[in-house]
């Protein structure tokens, strides 16, 4: 497995966690709205794809009701992330963001106050999206695991339902990550050291600073090594059946007993998909003997996670990685995850 190194210019004083990786200079590709990836979405659920220009031009910006101070808009979050990525990875290919939104909030202009909904003209309608997720790929930094090509990427989630918009402006909350994407299936691969579940900021500058901190604190080689080790461990058909059954029991355990076990964030809906894909997924299903390696199990979890809502999507993605590593520890002989296979 080989990674391509980020090549920094001399006037860029931002340190990189990729400095020890083999160097390969590439040309920077300027993002373009015409140059979209023709691939499966990284999240599905009830989302739809939008462009950055659509967020800029066709959406209003929510405000905090008691002081009319505006929020940091979705498009501004994405633009700040783009700037940080451009600073750190300044000689790499950087693709345009893939943006998914959900929970549209509709409104109308004041001059259309007396019209019925069906009479509204387009210019009299307003909208914004309560929830937004995006990813930005850096395809010139890559690795390979078990024959699957992985591309470095960053991304984030913003959910206005996590803000108290009926109050005065205060710190705003964002989720941000850096990790890899499995380009076979577009599943995200995120570890806890590349993820911040609640980034509280009060300004653009603070958001920029914290995003850069997450990027520079990420250990890409360590993350790839841990994922690579998942290919070395396998579950038998019996163990996989135990896993599916125990995860269904998990949410119904007495609270005291559940507290003693590792966290499992996946619900019955996702477990149904995982069970089905154990047989049917063309890339990650069982082998002819019913065995399945933990890299494939991990990808069954991250694939099933695409049905999650935006605001829980990243947390479950990280949980899938932690859970898969825990299963590997159990197979090595000592782990609190053993309950799921016993």
Residue 18: predicted pLDDT: 53
308 and 276, same structural domain? yes
264 and 176, same structural domain? no
201 and 55, same structural domain? yes
Residue 14: predicted pLDDT: 36
Domain total in the chain: 2
319 and 292, same structural domain? yes
Calpha distance 313→159 (Å, rounded): 11
Residue at 178 is within a domain? yes
> Which residues have a Cβ under 8 Å from the Cβ of 178 and sit 6 or more positions away?
152, 153, 154, 194, 214, 215, 218
Residue at 147 is within a domain? yes
Residue 111: predicted pLDDT: 79
- DSSP symbol at 252: T
> DSSP characters for 8-50?
--TT-----TTTTSPB---PPPPP-TT----S--S--TT-EEE
Residue at 144 is within a domain? yes
Residue at 244 is within a domain? yes
256 and 204, same structural domain? no
pTM of the predicted model, to two decimals?
A: 0.87
* Boundary of a domain, candidates 186, 219, 252: 219
Calpha distance 182→162 (Å, rounded): 29
| Pair 280, 296: CB distance under 8 Å | no
Ranges of the chain whose pLDDT falls below 70: 1-39
The pair of three-digit structure tokens given for residue 33, joined into one six-digit string = 């709205």
111 and 214, same structural domain? yes
> Which residues have a Cβ under 8 Å from the Cβ of 329 and sit 6 or more positions away?
335, 337
* Boundary of a domain, candidates 196, 219, 242: 219
246 and 210, same structural domain? no
315 and 192, same structural domain? no
326 and 273, same structural domain? yes
67 and 186, same structural domain? yes
Residues in the chain: 342
Residue 31: predicted pLDDT: 43
Calpha distance 268→88 (Å, rounded): 40
Looking at the DSSP bridge assignments, the partners of residue 157 are: 133, 175
149 and 268, same structural domain? no
Residue at 27 is within a domain? no
Give ∠ CA 150-316-3 in degrees, rounded to 5: 20
> Which residues have a Cβ under 8 Å from the Cβ of 65 and sit 6 or more positions away?
165, 166, 167
Q: What are phi and psi of 149, to 5 degrees?
A: -75, 130
- DSSP symbol at 91: T
* Boundary of a domain, candidates 219, 244, 271: 219
Q: For the segment 61-92, what is each residue's pLDDT rounded down to a tens digit?
A: 999 988 988 999 999 999 999 999 999 999 89
251 and 184, same structural domain? no
Residue at 66 is within a domain? yes
Calpha distance 152→3 (Å, rounded): 10
Residue at 9 is within a domain? no
- Report the chain's terminal Cα–Cα distance, integer Å: 34
Domain containing 237: what range?
233-340
Residue at 286 is within a domain? yes
């Amino acid at each position: 497995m080989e990674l391509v190194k980020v090549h920094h210019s001399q006037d860029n004083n931002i340190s990189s966690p990729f400095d020890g990786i083999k160097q390969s200079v590439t040309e920077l590709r300027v993002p373009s709205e015409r140059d979209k990836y023709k691939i499966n979405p990284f999240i599905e659920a009830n989302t739809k794809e939008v462009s950055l220009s659509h967020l800029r031009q066709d959406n209003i910006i929510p405000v905090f009701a008691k002081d009319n101070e505006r929020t940091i808009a979705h498009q501004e979050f994405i633009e700040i992330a783009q700037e940080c990525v451009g600073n750190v990875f300044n000689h790499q290919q950087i693709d345009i963001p893939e943006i998914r939104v959900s929970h549209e909030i509709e409104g109308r202009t004041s001059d259309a106050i007396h019209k019925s909904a069906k009479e509204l003209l387009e210019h009299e309608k307003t909208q914004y999206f309560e929830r937004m997720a995006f990813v930005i790929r850096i395809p010139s930094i890559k690795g390979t695991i078990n024959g699957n090509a992985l591309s470095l990427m960053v991304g984030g989630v913003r959910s206005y339902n996590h803000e108290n918009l009926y109050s005065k402006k205060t710190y705003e909350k964002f989720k941000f990550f850096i990790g890899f994407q499995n380009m076979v299936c577009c599943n995200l691969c995120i570890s806890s050291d590349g993820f911040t579940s609640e980034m509280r900021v009060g300004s653009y500058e603070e958001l920029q600073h914290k995003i850069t901190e997450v990027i520079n604190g990420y250990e890409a080689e360590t993350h790839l090594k841990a994922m690579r080790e998942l290919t070395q461990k396998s579950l038998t058909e019996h163990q996989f059946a135990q896993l599916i059954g125990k995860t269904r029991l998990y949410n119904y355990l007495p609270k005291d007993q559940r507290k003693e076990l590792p966290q499992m964030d996946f619900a019955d809906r996702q477990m149904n998909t995982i069970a089905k894909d154990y047989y049917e997924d063309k890339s990650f299903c069982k082998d002819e003997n019913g065995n399945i390696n933990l890299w494939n199990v991990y990808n069954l979890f991250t694939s099933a996670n695409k049905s999650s809502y935006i605001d829980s999507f990243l947390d479950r993605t990280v949980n899938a990685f932690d859970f898969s590593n825990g299963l590997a520890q159990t197979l090595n002989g000592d782990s609190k995850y053993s309950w799921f296979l016993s």
